[in-house]
Chain A
Amino acid sequence: MTITDDIVLRLTDVVKTFPGVRALDGVQLEVRAGEVHCLLGQNGAGKSTLIKVLSGAHTPDSGEILWLGQPAAFNSPQTAMKAGIATIYQELDLVDGLSVAENIYLGHEPHNAGFVARRTMRRGAAEILGRLGHAEIPVGREVGKLPAAAKQIVSMGRALSREARLLIMDEPSAVLAHDEVENLFRMVRALTAQGIAVIYISHRMEEIREIGDRVTVLKDGRTTAANLDAKTTPTRELVSRMTGRTIEYVFPEKPETTQVYDKDAPLLQVEGLSLDGRFSDISLTVHAGEIVGITGLVGSGRSEVLETIFGARRATAGTVVVGNKALRRGSVNAAVKAGIGMAPEERKSQALLLGEPIYRNVTLAGFARFARVGFTDSGRERVEAEKITQGLDLRPNDVRRPVRTLSGGNQQKVVVGRWLLGGTKLLLLDEPTRGVDVGARAELYQVIRRLADEGVGVLLVSSEVPEVLGLSDRVLVMREGRLVREAPADELDEDTVLDLVMAGSLLDGADLASTAPEGTAA
C-alpha cells in the first residue's frame, strides 16, 4: 500500500486562479500505477481545471507536480503527451475525416524519409485495437462514420499508441449506452492490467463502485478527501464530502399518486406520431403538473420523439395537440408559440451561444417579448434573467459573464431558465442531467419538480433508469422506435424497466407493444 515507487503522479497544494475565480485552491492527488483513480466533485469543484493542468493546457500558479518521482511542469499539451499522459475528453478530439489508423497515429505517424508508412500504421493500429479487444473495428474506416462508442475506443487506442502511462478519462460513459459501459470497463481493466494508471471522472456512483479503486473528492478547488476506498466508502460520505452536507433525499417528494389530473384535458396529446426510420406510432399524454419520463437505449428513438414534438424534426404521421390546438408539423416556432420549451441533449452545440452573456442566453427565446416595436430592452432583459438565474441558484450569478465560463450543470440551468422566463407550459427535457454532478443534479430535480408543482407539464428523456423512476410520475419505455410500456413510476422498479429496455428479439416485442396503450395511467 505504501510503496512509493508505485506512485506515478503526486500533486501537492496545486493552485490555479482565474480572474475572479480560484479554480484550484490546494489540490492533493496521488495516483498509482495500474489503479483506477476516481475524481469526484460538483460542477465548478475544479475537476476540469485539474485535468487541464495535468494535460498541459493550463500551468498552475503554485504547487508541486511529481511525475514518476520527478518534479514536472507540463506547459504544453505536447509536453504532457510526451511524458506519457493522455487525456480523453468528453468531446472526443478525433478528426472525423481521417481513418481510424490515421487518428490513432495523429501527430506521430510512422514514416520513412518523410512519407507516411501507411502499412506500418495500419498494422500498428490493428494491433492496438486488438489489445483493446476490438480488432473488429476496421482501421481504414473514416472515423466520422463510426458510432460514439467506437470513437471512444479509437481515442483510447491513440493513448496506447503514445505509450501513455496515465490515462485521464473525463466522463467516458456519458456518450455510451448501458451495455457499452460494460465494454468500456473491460477495456479499462485491460489497460490497468498492463500497469497503466487511469484517472476516471464520472458522476455515476455505480460506475465508480464497479471500476474504481480509490477516490479523491474535490470541493471548491480543494481536495476534501483523498484516497478513499472506491468499493466500501458509503455513498453518503462521498456526497457529503462533495457538498459539505448530507443529502438524504436526492429526489424531491412526489405528489400523492392518487392525484387526479384532468383526464379530459391533457396539456399535451400526441397521437400516432411517426418519423420514418426512427420511431412509429407513438401516442402519449402529458397533463399540467405532471412529470412524464421516457427511457430507452440510445437509438431507441426517445430523443427523436421529443425533437419531433417540438417541431425540430418533421413528423411523417400523427398529430401533436397542445391545449386544443394541433401544432403545425416541423415548426419549432409553432411549438414555442404554443408554450413548449425544449432543453436539447447537446447543450453546447444545440442550445447555447457560448460567447454571449448569460442573460442573452436566458432571453434567447424571449427577447422579442421585452422589445417595443422591435427595439430590445437589454436592461429589463438583464433584470428578468437575473431573477430567473437567482431562482435556479446559478453560480456565479453574474448574468453578464459569457456562458462558456460556466460549468456544465450551470449551463443547463441557463437553458432551463430560458424557458422559465417565457412562462412555458410544457417543458421537454432531453437528458437534463447529462454531465451534471450529484449535488447539482439534486438541485435540478428540485427545480423540475417545483416547476411541475407550479403547473408546468414536463416530458423528460433520460438513459438513466433511476432518474426516470425517481423523478417522474409516469414512465414510458421505448425500444426500437416503439413504446413498449407505460405505467405509473411507483409500479415499476429498475430491474423491470431495464429488462424492458434491453430485451432482445427473444422477447416478443410486438406483443408488448400492442398491450402498451392499455397501460395508460391516470
Chain B
Amino acid sequence: MSTATTPSADPVELSKGAASSAAGQSWWQRDSADSAKRNLALIGVLVLLLVIGAWTRSDIFLDIDRLWSNELTVLTQASSIGVIVVGMTFVMISGGIDLSVGALLALASVWCTTVATQDLGPAAMVFTALAVGAIAGLVNGGLIAYGKLVPFIATLAMMLSARGLAQNISGSHTQITADPFIKSLAGDRLFGVPYMVIIFVVVTALGWVLLNRTTFGRRTIAIGGNAEAARLAGINVRLQTLLLYVLSGLCCGIAALMVVSQTTSGSNTHGDLYELSAIAAAIIGGTALTGGRGTIVGSLLGVLIFTQITNLFIVNNLQLDIQRIINGGIIVAAVLIQQFRVGSFFRTRFNK
C-alpha cells in the first residue's frame, strides 16, 4: 500500500503549507493550503496548454497582440458557462447538485426574448431573465429543503420541465432580439475588454467573496461538511439550502442574458449540456461531490482549462469530436490525481 512509503514526502509540504499560511496569507492561500496547492497545479496545466499552443501555433501564441486577442476570445467563450459554474460550485460545496442549470438558461433566454417582454425594453428583459432564474431556483430549493427531495431528483425534474416550458413558450422558434443594449453586452468593450469577460470576472469575484468572506459562504461550507452539526449549532440549514439553489438559478439568469446577447436570440436549445460541463469544471477544480470542499478559484480554472483546450483545437483546425473524447479523459485524470494526492490520502488515515 502506498501509504507506507509516501507520507515522508508530504509531511514536509504539509508543514510548509501551514507555516506559510501562518506567516502571510496571500489571497489564494486563504482557501487553505491544500486547495491552494491544487489550484497551483491547475494553473500549471493552464500554462502547459499555453505552451502547447506556442508550440503548435507560434504565430498566435508568441505574438503578444494576437495572444491577447486570442485569450480574450477564450475568456468570452468561457464567460456564460463560467457564471453558471460559480452557482454550481456553491450548490456542490453544500453537498447538493443542480442538473437544471442548462434548462434554466434556456427558459430564461426564451422568456426574456418574448415579444411582450421585448416591448417593455431592455430593463424588463434583464429583470425577466434574472427573475425566471431565481424563481426556478426557488422552486428547486423549496423542493429540496422543505419537500425533502434529493437534489439530484428535484433538479432532474426541473431540467425536464424547464426545457419543456421553454419549448412551449417559444414554440420551438428562435426568438431574435435586436435590442441595442442587449446586443451591446456581447459587442462592446470597456478598455478593450469585452463586457462578457467583465461580467464573468465580476461574478466570479463576487462569488469568491461570498464563499470566503461572508457568513453565507461559511454556512454553505458548514452544511456541506456536516449538515447535522450545522443544524445543532443553530444554523438554519433549510433556509440556507433554499438560498443556494436561488443563487444557482440567478447565475443561470445572468448567463442567459449573456447567451442571448452573444447569439442575439433566445432559444429552447440554448445551454444544452451546460449542466454537465459545469459539474465537470467544478470537479476538476477540486469541488467534492460529497460536499464540504471546493473553491471558486478551482472551478474558474476548471472552466478555463476546458475552454483553452477547445481553443487549441480550433486554432489548429482539429476535429472537435476528438476534443470531447479528450475532455472525458481530463475529468478522469483530474479526479484520479486528486485522489492519489498523498496529502489528503495520508490525512484520512491519520484520522483521530
Contacts and interface: CB of A to CB of B under 8 A. Distances in A.
Interface string A20-52: 100000000000000000000000000010001
Interface string A357-393: 1001000110110010011101000000000000000
A138 interface: no
A117 B37 CA distance: 49
B11 A18 contact: yes
Interface string B7-19: 1001110110010
Contact of A367 (B30, B215, B232): B215
Given A352-B226, A405-B347, A332 B234 contact: yes
Given A336-B234, A364-B230, A365-B233, A376 B215 contact: yes
A395 B228 CA distance: 26
A404 B352 contact: yes
B207 to A, nearest CB: 14
Chain B contact residues (Cβ within 8 angstroms of A): what range? 35 or more
Interface in B48-107: none
B324 interface: no
Given A376-B214, A376-B215, A350 B14 contact: no
B215 A368 contact: yes
B336 interface: no
B352 A400 contact: no
A355 B218 CA distance: 14
Nearest to A340: B234
A332 B30 CA distance: 31
B231 interface: yes
Contacts of B15: 19-20
A342 B347 contact: no
Interface in B296-343: none
A57 interface: yes
A59 B4 contact: yes
B225 A404 contact: no
B163 interface: no
B166 interface: no
Interface in A171-201: none
Contacts of A57: 349
A404 B347 contact: yes
A6 to B, nearest CB: 31
B1 A76 contact: yes
B234 A75 contact: no
Contacts of A378: 30
A387 to B, nearest CB: 18
A516 interface: no
B232 A333 contact: no
A20 B11 CA distance: 8
B86 to A, nearest CB: 18
A375 B214 CA distance: 4
B293 to A, nearest CB: 7
B114 interface: no
A404 B228 CA distance: 17
Given A48-B352, A371-B215, A405-B350, A400 B18 contact: yes
Interface centre among B22, B217, B218, B349 (most CB of A within 10 A): B218
B343 to A, nearest CB: 10
Nearest to A21: B350
Contact of B234 (A19, A337, A350, A351): A337
A352 B30 CA distance: 21
B352 A75 contact: no
Contacts of B234: 332-333, 335-337, 365
B232 A350 contact: yes
A311 to B, nearest CB: 9
A341 to B, nearest CB: 9
A432 to B, nearest CB: 15
B232 A400 contact: no
B344 to A, nearest CB: 9
A353 B225 contact: yes
Given A19-B15, A374-B216, A400-B22, A351 B352 contact: no
B4 A344 contact: no
Contacts of B12: 19
Nearest to A52: B349
Contacts of A58: 3, 349
Interface string A396-418: 00001010111110000000001
A333 B234 CA distance: 5
A354 interface: yes
A378 B350 CA distance: 26
Nearest to A78: B1
Contacts of B352: 48, 404-408
Contact of B351 (A360, A375, A404): A404
A413 to B, nearest CB: 15
Given A19-B11, A59-B4, A405-B347, A351 B213 contact: no
Contact of B236 (A312, A333, A356, A367): A333
Interface centre among A76, A357, A364 (most CB of B within 10 A): A364
A52 B7 CA distance: 15
A349 interface: yes
Contact of A371 (B10, B214, B222, B232): B214
Interface in B218-241: 218, 221-222, 225-226, 228-236
A310 interface: yes
A364 B229 contact: yes
A374 B220 CA distance: 13
Contacts of B161: none
Contacts of A352: 226, 229
B229 A353 contact: yes
A219 to B, nearest CB: 18
Nearest to A350: B228
A313 B1 CA distance: 45
B292 interface: yes
B292 A355 contact: yes
Nearest to A334: B234
Contact of A375 (B21, B213, B230, B293): B213
Contacts of A418: 233
Given A351-B232, A364-B230, A418-B233, A356 B213 contact: no
A333 B240 CA distance: 13
B158 to A, nearest CB: 28
A275 to B, nearest CB: 17
B229 A355 contact: no
Contacts of B32: 357
15 contacts: A18-B11, A20-B11, A52-B349, A337-B234, A351-B226, A352-B229, A357-B32, A365-B235, A374-B215, A374-B216, A400-B18, A402-B347, A404-B352, A405-B347, A407-B352
> Lowest 7 A-B CB distances belong to which pairs?
A336-B234, A19-B11, A353-B225, A365-B233, A364-B233, A59-B4, A374-B214
Given A354-B351, A356-B221, A364-B233, 18 more contacts: A18-B350, A59-B3, A59-B4, A332-B231, A332-B234, A333-B234, A336-B233, A337-B234, A350-B229, A352-B229, A353-B292, A355-B293, A371-B215, A375-B213, A376-B214, A404-B352, A405-B350, A406-B352
